[in-house]
Structure 1
Amino acid sequence: MGSGLETAHPLVTALLNLAVAVFTGATVSHWWLARHPSGWADMRRRPVRSVALAGAVVALASDIVWLWMESAAMAEVPVYAASNATWTMATSTHLGLAWGVGFAALTVAAILAGIGDGRRTWSSIAAVAALAVFWYTRSMVSHAASDGDFSVRMLADWVHLGLINLWVGEVIVAGGIMLRATRAMATADRRARAVYVTFLSDSATTALAGIVVTGLYATWRSVRSIDDLVGTPYGNTLVAKLLLVAVAVLLGGVNRLVVMPPWLSSEAADDAAPPALPRRFKRILLVEAAVLLATVVVASWLVSTAPPRGANIGTSTHQCRAHLRPRSTAKAIHDT
């Protein structure tokens, strides 16, 4: 793989992961708005739907580019000459099978996001189910597939990926749309906003708990000693990812434990909270979103980085270039 492709491939992966996360966050937010109708919710329904559709379109385009670049890397040909390799990859390999199923699921989710009017929950629930299929196919072409497509390791990776999408997407959509400042909010609107903030915090906390458990399991399976974390590209990238996650957790903790209690207690007493509290919550949320964006980029580099020698993590893509083997024998050769 050329140096340009080695850089572009993780960036496309990061764009794909970010777009799917935003799509997920917007879809879940759409579901919440449908379940809690109010004037405040009505003003956010259309922009949330627009963001969901934009995320879906970017994700679909990025997924196509991702397969093209993956095929060029595997066949060791320039990107502009990878059409034949891409067709072979899509039709004759395990990665192609997983990609095809995932792309179909992502397309279904995009269609559901487009036909939903924002006032019914069924389309959002169905879209999340389709996204769950897409997440599983991403795990099928990851390091976790070294134990097979239906293993504990795969299930853990699937749950981990889904919860990360939920956390990252919800934070970005909340900071960019849901908590956008609104002038002259009525009591009912402030109450609706407070209910949403509670839902956001609770769902993010639940997602984080699952991310920690599944992340520890994945680390235990891939890192055998402290030497694997120090002085290796894989270990350094993993440590960088963990540090960014820790910063995001700290920011979320400040919002949940310091900013939210006085804000929500005022709303519960039908008193307008000081404007500084919602503004502070949103500022911290935006910083958390920026940190999570950096985490997505680093995580995309992590899955493209060769694992520590001897770790039970599967075969690296870079070790399998040009081996476009049939589905029956190619189930664990791809890492991104």
Structure 2
Amino acid sequence: MVWPMLSATDYGRAGSLTVVVMSLIFALCLYRSNHHRNHRFALLILLAIFAATRASMGHAGEAGFWSIAMAVETVHLWSIGLWAGVVAVSGWQLLGMTARDKLNIDDRHYLERMSHAAMYAVIAIAATGIYNSWFRVGTLANLQNTSYGITLLVKIALVVVAIVLGGYNKYIGLPAAVRSPQALKHVRMVLQMESIVLFGVLAAAAMLTVQQPPSAM
């Protein structure tokens, strides 16, 4: 019963491909290559495929794999993953749990690139999120009176909180951290808080994929 579902349905094939791609991503993350550019390029391609297959398993997939809705949802999921990923790596791995006194030049360059990447991701999330909300929710009444709309509001609220935290670090925390060890601790704490909020955004996004949007009712 399981095999026919996996092999004979679009949902099953997309789910199977998602598992395969995820396994390849983990394998590449564990594999250390001297060809850094090729390694990163392969990871980006796999992440894009993962986002597309994951998007096809949600409401966007109903419009067809090559539809605008699929493209928008793929960019949306990829951007959320990018934002959450770079923030989590920065807060929990790069700066870590240890009390570091200062940032070295490589750390500063990475955090600057992280900040720019997060900013571009936020722009993409906002644009694609508005598109999705317009076509799936439709009216303010649907936003307030349906489980899909309420979950979407929670997701939007979490995104706003994450933007505020990220904005603090970009314009206040990071410039101060170059000069002050105490400010560096604040940057680490804010990054970790932002990553937790963003995982909440991911959870809300996952819930939206299994809820019926008002436009489909």
TM-score, L = length of structure 2: 0.92
Corresponding position of 2:144: 230
Question: Is contact 1:112–1:124 with CA below 8 Å preserved after alignment?
Answer: no
CA displacement, residues 214-245 of structure 1 (integer Å, 9 cap, x when unaligned): 11111111011111111211111111111111
Question: Is contact 2:158–2:197 with CA below 8 Å preserved after alignment?
Answer: yes
Corresponding position of 2:43: 127
Measured after TM superposition, the shift of residue 169 of structure 1 is: 1.1
* Match 1:212 to one of 104, 121, 126: 126
Measured after TM superposition, the shift of residue 184 of structure 1 is: 6.4
SS at match of 1:224: coil
Corresponding position of 2:188: 282
In structure 2, what residue type is equivalent to 1:227? A
Bigger Rg over Cα = 1
CA displacement, residues 6-52 of structure 1 (integer Å, 9 cap, x when unaligned): xxxxxxxxxxxxxxxxxxxxxxxxxxxxxxxxxxxxxxxxxxxxxxx
Measured after TM superposition, the shift of residue 117 of structure 1 is: 3.9
Corresponding position of 1:148: 64
**Overall identity of the aligned pairs, in %:** 30
SS at match of 2:144: coil
The 2-side partners of 1:224 and 1:118 are apart by 50
TM-score, L = length of structure 1: 0.61
Higher share of residues assigned helix: 2
Corresponding position of 2:156: 242
CA displacement, residues 68-114 of structure 1 (integer Å, 9 cap, x when unaligned): xxxxxxxxxxxxxxxx2x22210111111212222222232233223
The 1-side partners of 2:94 and 2:34 are apart by 14
> Does the C-alpha gap of structure 1 residues 228 and 114 become closer, same or farther in structure 2, counting only changes over 3 Å?
same
In structure 2, what residue type is equivalent to 1:306? Q
Corresponding position of 1:194: 108
Cα RMSD (Å): 1.9
> Does the C-alpha gap of structure 1 residues 292 and 122 become closer, same or farther in structure 2, counting only changes over 3 Å?
same
Structure 2 gaps, min length 5: none
The 2-side partners of 1:278 and 1:117 are apart by 31
SS at match of 2:180: coil
Corresponding position of 2:54: 138
The 1-side partners of 2:213 and 2:127 are apart by 21
- 1:105 and 2:105 matched: no
SS at match of 1:149: coil
By relative contact order (CA 8 Å, sep 6+), the higher-ranking structure is 1
The 2-side partners of 1:155 and 1:183 are apart by 42
Corresponding position of 1:175: 91
Paired residues, what number? Answer: 216
The 2-side partners of 1:248 and 1:99 are apart by 30
Corresponding position of 2:31: 115
Corresponding position of 1:331: none
- 1:91 and 2:7 matched: yes
In structure 2, what residue type is equivalent to 1:274? S
In structure 1, what residue type is equivalent to 2:170? R
Greater than 6 Å deviation, 4+ residue runs: none
The equivalences for 1:48-63 within 5 A come to none
The 2-side partners of 1:263 and 1:113 are apart by 29
Measured after TM superposition, the shift of residue 116 of structure 1 is: 2.0
CA displacement, residues 184-219 of structure 1 (integer Å, 9 cap, x when unaligned): 66xxx6111111111111110011111111111111
